[in-house]
Amino acid sequence: MVPGSFLGAVHRLAPLLILLSAFSPALAAEDPSLIVSRFQEYLRINTAQPNPNYSDTKEFILAQASSLSLEAQTVEFVAGKPVIILKWPGTNPSLPSIMFYSHTDVVPVEQSKWAHPPFGAHLDGDGRIFARGSQDMKCVGMQHIEAVRLLKQSGFEPVRSVYIVFSPDEEIGGHDGAEKLAESEIFRKMNVGVVLDEGLASPNEDYRPFYGERSPWWLVIKAIGAPGHGAKLYDNTALENLFKSIETIRRFRASQFDLVKAGLKAEGEVTSVNMAFLKAGTPSPTGFVMNLQPSEAEAGFDIRVPPTADPEVLERRIAEEWAPISRNMTYEFKQKATVHNKNGKPMLTATDSSNPWWGLMEEAVRKANGKLGKPEIFPAATDSRYFRLLGLPAIGFSPMANTPILLHDHNEFLHKDEYLKGIEVFGSIIKTYASYVEDSRDRSSRDEL
């Protein structure tokens, strides 16, 4: 008689073996538990900002590359911040290559708020893997590698070269990683034709694809006024003027949010504004001086601007309504990312017949028994912007269906079945993209248009 626990294990394992064998009969030999354990190993490397362990990360990724006989190159545009470039050469290297991109760093954690250690990669009895980076976005980087592993096992050979790139510092802006990579001669020689970067989890069965993203404008408004006694009513004090601005900004925020709540626009299609800090007062040994009105006050705002917005209109609003000089106010941008590419066009990737990569992606996901939802504008910023800035098509995509959105949240997790299914999906995308040879007549027609 077979013990019940063994039968239970077989029962849980069967769907995963079926999933992998559906992708290719040769893949059924790969033990799903080994695939998941490699993911857990990556998750256990603490790459939280501001002190990410890039050294162990590099060692781990290069070991994966070696096991797959992939070409590997490590570049440090800034010391201590490695960009790792893996290459699977195609049989026709003259064709534009495919780049699958992910970042290695993650955001900090509040340890006490987690049910399981955030860098323990705990697999619970329900199949959920708890770890910082399980959704954002170590899952995607490992799915790229595992998809190549399975394709190699099946005997597939790409026509186009495939690059798998791991970059640092996305969570603090990507300036020393993706931005410098996109501007480099190394990237030019890679001859990239399309980039796949991160997306978001989907609470339903449809995967969420992203064809653009909102640009971050980090705004600091400063008000100046005469100091005065805390008991006296003055006109145009620093705090009074700042509060007027905050109220004006709050009304604008509410008007944008109302469009989202009414279902008229998606979150990525409106301009969001959230106050990040408020600074005022005169410090004292016990806190703040309570009977003195301060002469200066500042507030910081995280603004996200969609590529469909008119940036000149927004900046005029800031100058005339949010921080008018008539109220002794000034403003500065700590960061102000453009919404246009180098050709002056909105940084949006086409999702129609003018972009063959979009149709190929729909086809590849469908072949993997998945379904793409309506293309969206990513509500935050990703490193995709540095490649869209060059005019390259870039699609944000993280194959996580039936999954709550937990990036940057406590108890971030991804179910192992969704992780394994995502490998199948990426395998289909790599196979479809790397096999694509554009019809020269199609290219001529588009050039004429």
Active-site positions read 105, 170
CB atoms closer than 10 angstroms to residue 371: 14
d(CA 108, CA 110): 7
Residue 421: which residues within 8 A CB-CB, separation 6 or more?
A: 19, 368, 370, 399, 401
Q: What angle do the packed helices 138-153 and 32-43 form, to 10 degrees?
A: 150
